[in-house]
Amino acid sequence: MNDRPSSIVPPDAARAERVGRYLDTLTKPPGSLGRLEALAVTLAGITGEDFPRVTPPGVVVFAADHGVAEEGVSAFPQAVTAQMVANFAAGGAAINVFARRLEARLEVVDVGVAGELPQTSVVHDKVRHGTANLAREAAMSRDEARAALAVGRRAAGRAAEAGCRCLIVGEMGIANTTASTAMLAALTGAPVAELVGPGTGVAGEALAHKRAVIEAALIERAPDTADPLDVLARLGGLEIAAMAGAYREAATRRMPILVDGFIATVAALTACRLDPALRPYLIFGHRSREPGHARALAALDAEPLLDLDLRLGEGTGPGLAFPLLEAATAMLAEMATFAQAGVDDRAER
């Protein structure tokens, strides 16, 4: 797997335990704020702070194209990737709306869009002009996969240095549910039939075709399933690699990470296979409608915060879940203790 020692330190278990005990002194029956209390404990462990802060959040959206789009596996044409980057730059996409609500720092990174992008507000860190068609050849080389991981690390580093205290990572890349499904099948051994889904909306014969393309690619690319970098290079995407790199950098900096839907969770699984020390830094925003998401979450033993039937990506699930993290930290910092409020802390028997 990874030949280098991890740069990620484990969360601060002693602090997490102390915060858990403090929560029981606040004016509520112990445990009555349920998963919000667990979130507060998790955030204390990750940040190493008694009163963790998660604002402002940083949202990074990685955009890249996929050669496999030419196989007709998406309901939308490849050109939509670049068109959506223009939409992100103009502020009109769903993630722009949610990021504004959160007063988040939003950065859009071109890690591999097929064409040249004119937008000056987009970070241009292109590794190559889209991946090769994974149905015919490896999507990229190992060096390109490493370069895309480094693009992600740089982006998370910029968010941290700009003062962001929580990282939300999104993606845009037409056909990336095909790449993600192929990667997930390789990483888990699950049958493609259980994982493949509509993505942007393919159904019927087109969905059967998408499944056949993925099944054939798994046989023909024959990735070494014990080597996550090999899976990423043969079947993956540049934005998927960048997401994995961003997660790792954020964890190195002890930033909590809110993970999005299907594609983001496959990137998270890949990153955890590269370095298992990442796992405790990941908080899962929502359960996607994409059928493979359940399997990806199970592989990470993850229970997401929300289930809103979303199937979009871009970082929208975490954009909606972030207020729960904020509420958990505010609850911890602002609630009165039984002693402060003069409330009797003994339950009647």
Ligand X SMILES: Cc1cc2ncn([C@H]3O[C@H](COP(=O)(O)O)[C@@H](O)[C@H]3O)c2cc1C
Ligand Y SMILES: O=C(O)c1cccnc1
Q: Which residues bind ligand Y (CB under 6 A)?
A: 177, 199-200, 260-264, 288, 290, 293, 311-313
Q: Which does 316 bind (CB under 5 to 8 A by kind): ligand Y, ligand X, none?
A: none
Q: Which of 133, 176, 265, 270 binds ligand X (CB under 6 A)?
A: 176
Looking from the CA of 36 toward its CB, the CA atoms found within 13 Å total: 17
In the complex, minimum distance from the CB of residue 343 to ligand X, in angstroms, rounded to a whole number: 48
Q: Which does 174 bind (CB under 5 to 8 A by kind): ligand Y, ligand X, none?
A: ligand X
Q: How many residues bind ligand X (CB under 6 A)?
A: 18
In the complex, minimum distance from the CB of residue 177 to ligand Y, in angstroms, rounded to a whole number: 5
Q: Which of 48, 76, 190, 206 binds ligand X (CB under 6 A)?
A: 76
Lookup result for tokens 């040249």? 116
Structure tokens at 29: 């029956």
The C-alpha atoms of residue 138 and residue 217 are separated, in whole angstroms, by 9
Q: Is the dihedral of CA 131, 224, 283, 15 positive or negative?
A: negative
Over 23-74, what HEC string results?
A: HCCECCCCCCCHHHHHHHHHHHHHHCCCCCCCCCEEEEEEEECCHHHHHCCC
Q: At what angle do helices 292-299 and 176-188 cross, to 10 degrees?
A: 50
Told to check if 178 binds ligand X by CB under 6 A, we report: yes
Q: Which does 230 bind (CB under 5 to 8 A by kind): ligand X, ligand Y, none?
A: none
Identify the DSSP state of 103.
T
The C-alpha atoms of residue 269 and residue 129 are separated, in whole angstroms, by 25
- Strand 257-259 relative to strand 57-64, pairing: unpaired
**What is the C-alpha end-to-end distance of the chain, expressed in Å?**
55
86-145: contacts with ligand X (CB under 6 A): none
In the complex, minimum distance from the CB of residue 257 to ligand Y, in angstroms, rounded to a whole number: 15
Q: Give the binding range for ligand X (CB under 6 A) out of 52-60, 74-82, 102-110, 229-237.
A: 74-82
313-332: contacts with ligand X (CB under 6 A): 313-314
Between 75 and 308, CB nearer to ligand X: 75
Q: Which of 177, 188, 265, 288 binds ligand X (CB under 6 A)?
A: 177
Q: Is 37 a catalytic residue?
A: no
What is the distance, to the nearest Å, from the Cα of residue 349 to the centroid of all Cα atoms in its chain? 46
Q: Which of 47, 74, 188, 252 binds ligand X (CB under 6 A)?
A: 74
Q: Which of 11, 173, 223, 304 binds ligand X (CB under 6 A)?
A: 173
Q: Which of 43, 64, 127, 175 binds ligand X (CB under 6 A)?
A: 175
Q: Which does 288 bind (CB under 5 to 8 A by kind): ligand Y, ligand X, none?
A: ligand Y
The C-alpha atoms of residue 326 and residue 39 are separated, in whole angstroms, by 10
In the complex, minimum distance from the CB of residue 235 to ligand X, in angstroms, rounded to a whole number: 14
In the complex, minimum distance from the CB of residue 311 to ligand X, in angstroms, rounded to a whole number: 8
Asked, as a colleague might, if the bond just before 56 is cis with ω within 30 of 0, I would say yes
The C-alpha atoms of residue 241 and residue 147 are separated, in whole angstroms, by 9
From the number of C-beta atoms within 10 Å of its C-beta (0-12, 13-18, 19+), residue 64 rates as: buried
Q: Which of 71, 314, 326, 348 is catalytic?
A: 314
- Look at residue 60 and give its three-state secondary structure: strand
In the complex, minimum distance from the CB of residue 115 to ligand X, in angstroms, rounded to a whole number: 15
Contact between 164 and 320 under an 8 Å Cβ cutoff? The reply is no
Identify the DSSP state of 48.
T
Summarize as ranges the residues that interact with ligand X (CB under 6 A).
74-76, 80, 84, 171-178, 199-200, 312-314
The residues that are catalytic are: 314
